[in-house]
Amino acid sequence: MKKLLLINFLIIAALCNIATAQIAIKKNNIKTFTTKTFTPNQQRAINYASPANNSGLTAQAYGIRAYDQERGAVQEFVSFYIDLSDTIVTIKDLSDYYIRAAAYANGYYYMANSQDGMCTYDLLAMDMETFDIDTIASYTIENYESAIIFSDMTFDSTTGNMYGIGYDLETAISEDDDNTLEVELALLKIDLTTGKMTNIGHQSFCNLVTIACDNKGELWGIDSNGKLWSIDKSNGMPLEVKGSSTDIPSTLQSMCFNPADG
């Protein structure tokens, strides 16, 4: 059975008494989800899963923990085994950063850093052997990348492309009647050497909150209503609803496929 990991964590705990995280298990026909709920202390975003090393456990997951029930807002790179999710190991303190999205590729953990908690300031790469962090690119107001409020990132191992989704402020349309802005969601291709981001396409049809590529290179996303969509990588448009969950996503999201089986 292929597994699709979906993590939901709350940034502002004052709005909710209990924070939960869900793992969604993707069935073979991608029609239904099953969920598992964790305690508030297990809040985390999952961006990469790898097979466990002779441990008998299904997979080891890595990600950014952005909130802890006792300590509040944090920025930590953590690891845990899916079958032992009560045991979370903090690998590296990231308190000097504000990571909006991240994904693993070819030995590095790529992270979109946002100093103000919204727009993109830096593209970072963390060596997964040494955990040293290098800056691939830094952006200023003149760069297109600074207009992106990232939601998630994913790596397509079949093409070597890194994708991201984010709200593209350059597409903002003023709504004069209530002084609000309508901002479209963009699918981006990220150059991991230069940090340059290319807008593949943007749309306001569907509010995707997280994306993931499977081993076949197919791109998937979950929207704010809990629906699982197939996504056209050529233009960023959602194509077809393939499943749904009764757990409605809230706040920041991240998901991934286990590369061992899917």
Task: Parse the chain into domains and list their residue ranges.
Answer: 4-257
What is the structure's pLDDT at 110?
A: 95
Per-residue pLDDT reduced to its tens digit, 116-175:
888 999 999 999 999 999 999 999 988 989 989 998 999 999 999 999 999 988 887 766
Continuous H helices in the chain: none
pTM over 0.85: no
Q: Which residues pair with 109 in a beta bridge?
A: 104, 126
Determine the straight-line distance between the first and last CA of the chain, rounded to whole angstroms.
8
Looking at the domain covering 4-257, what would its CATH class be? mainly beta
Q: Phi-psi category of 227—alpha, beta or left, where left has phi over 0 and alpha has psi -120 to 50?
A: beta
Lowest mean pLDDT among 32-41, 45-54, 59-68, 210-219: 32-41
63 has a pLDDT exceeding 70: yes
Helix (H, G, I), strand (E, B) or coil at 231: strand
Give residue-wise pLDDT tens across range 8-30: 432 211 112 222 223 332 323 33
Amino acid identity at 46: I
